């Protein structure tokens, strides 16, 4: 009986395992030399090349370096159906040591980050670089899970589907751990012009 079950289930397991490999997404290329965009306790400005948007965020935390993080980002071209960006801008800056919620205004998509470290608070102020694509509008928006899962952990967030875009984020700040947890606001974009903004 055991051999019959093995004979029946072995082909099923083999097929299932083979299909599993089709759905694996490899890590994003964060750059040729995989360096960080900042050094500890220093400000930085990162912008994707024209026509590209942020698709992955990676970070490591160091308590001994002023409870700061190293950051790296990956960009990919926006879908051709969106066309070229019609305008780009910097959003408002948050205050260090406080919670933060920011969505790109004017239906924009996140195409960069700017940050300044404040040693008195052991935290950073943040600002999004946003780009608008014609009059495309977001829909089917949702929040990701928290990145990192716990304060002080490494973080590696990536978009797994090509037609989803980061529009903003909400963060919580721990005064005990001196670290932030991020939830990214992810949306799809219409393939047609729409008359409203959000």
* Secondary structure of 5-31 as H, E, C letters: HHHHHHHHHHHHHHHHHHCCCCCCCCC
Give pLDDT, residue 161: 81
> Given this model, what pLDDT does residue 67 score?
97
By percentage, how much of the chain surpasses pLDDT 90? 72
Question: Is the pLDDT confidence value at 48 over 60?
Answer: yes
pLDDT at position 195, please? 73
**Residue pLDDT, tens place only, 154-172:** 999 999 888 899 999 999 9
- Mean pLDDT on 78-94: 93
Cα–Cα distance for residue pair 84/90, rounded to 1 Å? 18
CA gap 92, 160 in Å, rounded: 28
In whole angstroms, give the CA distance from residue 184 to residue 168: 6
> pLDDT digit string (tens) for 51-76?
999 999 999 999 999 999 999 999 99
Q: What integer pLDDT is reported at residue 162 of this predicted model?
A: 82
Output the CA angle 24-28-31, nearest 5 degrees: 160
User: What is the reported pLDDT for 1?
Assistant: 56
Please state the pTM of the whole predicted model.
Answer: 0.81
Mean pLDDT of the chain: 86
Q: Could you read off the pLDDT of 109-166 as tens digits, one per residue?
A: 999 999 999 999 999 999 999 999 987 899 999 999 999 999 999 999 999 888 899 9
Quote the pLDDT of residue 7: 54
Question: According to the model, what pLDDT value does residue 4 have?
Answer: 58
Residue keyed to tokens 């670290």: 179
Q: Rounded CA gap, 106 and 194, in Å?
A: 12
Strand 87-90 versus strand 165-174 pairing type:
unpaired
Give the pLDDT of residue 198.
54
């Amino acid at each position: 009986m055991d051999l019959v079950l093995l004979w029946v289930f072995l082909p099923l397991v083999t097929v299932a395992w083979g299909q599993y490999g089709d759905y694996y997404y490899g890590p994003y290329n964060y750059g040729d030399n995989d360096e960080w965009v900042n050094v500890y306790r220093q400000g930085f400005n990162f912008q994707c090349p024209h026509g590209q948007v942020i698709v992955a965020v990676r970070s490591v935390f160091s308590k001994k370096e002023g409870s700061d993080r190293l950051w790296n980002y990956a960009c990919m071209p926006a879908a051709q159906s969106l066309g070229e960006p019609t305008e780009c801008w910097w959003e408002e800056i948050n205050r260090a040591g406080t919670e933060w919620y920011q969505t790109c205004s004017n239906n924009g998509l996140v195409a960069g980050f700017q940050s300044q470290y404040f040693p008195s608070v052991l935290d950073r102020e943040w600002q999004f670089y946003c780009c608008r694509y014609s009059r495309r509008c977001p829909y089917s928006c949702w929040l990701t899970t928290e990145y990192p899962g716990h304060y002080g952990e490494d973080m590696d967030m990536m978009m797994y589907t090509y037609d989803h875009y980061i529009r903003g984020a909400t963060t919580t700040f721990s005064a005990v751990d001196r670290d932030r947890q991020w939830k990214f606001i992810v949306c799809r974009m219409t393939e047609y012009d729409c008359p409203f903004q959000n």
